[in-house]
Amino acid sequence: MTSRVAAAIDAAHAAGRGAFVGYLPLGFPDLQTSIDAAVLLAENGADVLELGPPYSDPVMDGTIIQEATQTALAGGFRLRDTFTAVREITRRVEVPVLVMTYWNPVMQYGVDRYADDLLAAGGAGLITPDITPDSAADWIAASERTGLDRVFLAAPTSTDERLDLIVQASTGFVYTVSTMGITGERAELDAAARGLVDRMRSRAGAPLRACVGIGISTPDQVTGVLEYADGAIVGTALVRALRDGGLDGLAETARALSAGTRLPA
């Protein structure tokens, strides 16, 4: 099956842009506003949406995202709301929707049931930050059965053997970690991300789509990442914009970030 996420990245490139992947937590500040925010993000330049159901132990997330997810949990967000949100968002926009989820909720829900319900809601796949391909046989089988994308994370500390496994198992793109640690905004991005993308490209037996995330928060940083990667993933800057400026603030920030995706002629 054709990957909708890969197709969106390729379409951005055909239009002379790198891909803009935008992250928002579901349920923040409430479920309906988070749905409207995701739609607005798609309408203001995001090529792929990355939506995070709140989780009680978000080990990868920085302070701003953690605070947002705590607000969502306190507001009564339930796992099933994920599928309600994805269904409503994909009804309103055609941008592919990936769910960024820690693995425990998927296991609790049932891997095949989760895959089937995500597919039925119009979702495109999962980003799974805390499970590696060698531990994900059930999910790999379910994604192959359903055609959902599976996006694994590659880090600068990954061994060559681990990178081979990640590249072979990932579809859509490989989530390339710009720097070790939690998400958030950083004044300067690691040179390690460029080296990591080079390592993966040199080892990939097929065309590799690499999107870089963690620490990207400005249009200039988006532009810099797209010198060597296929897409830039932005989260914290968008969550802050929504928190501080509401939907209008989010739209303004999304447009500014999207303007950074233009590739040199």
What pLDDT, in 10s, does the model give residues 143-152? 999 999 999 9
The rounded Cα 24 to chain-centroid distance in angstroms is 9
Question: What per-residue confidence (pLDDT) applies to 134?
Answer: 94
**Helix, strand, or coil here: 127?**
strand
Is 252 considered catalytic here? Answer: no
Q: Position 187: which residue type? A: A
Which has the closest alpha carbon to 168: 197, 193, 133, 136? Answer: 133
Domains annotated on the chain, with CATH: 4-259 (3.20.20.70)
Place of tokens 């992250």: 23
H or E stretch at 150? strand 149-151
Q: What is residue 215's predicted lDDT score, i.e. its pLDDT?
A: 82
pTM score, whole prediction: 0.94
pLDDT at 61: 60
Query: What torsion do the CA atoms of 104, 114, 24, 42 make, to the nearest 10 degrees?
Result: 160
Place of tokens 């996006």: 151
DSSP state, 87? H
Is the Cβ–Cβ distance between 148 and 127 less than 8 Å?
Answer: no
Q: Residue 231: how many CB atoms within 10 A of its CB?
A: 28
- Determine contact, residues 257/219, Cβ cutoff 8 Å: yes
Cβ contacts of 63 within 8 Å, gap of 6 or more: 184
- Known catalytic membership, residue 190: no
Among candidate residues 10, 36, 43, 50, the one labeled active-site is 50
Query: Tell me, what's the pLDDT at 57?
Result: 65
Residue 174: beta bridge partners? 210
Segment (H or E) for 259: helix 236-259
Residue numbers in the chain where pLDDT is lower than 50: none
The DSSP result for 156-191, as a single string, is TT--HHHHHHHHHH--S-EEEESSSS---B-SS--T
Annotated catalytic residue: which of 30, 36, 57, 61? 61
Q: What is the model's pLDDT at position 58?
A: 55
pLDDT recorded at residue 55: 81
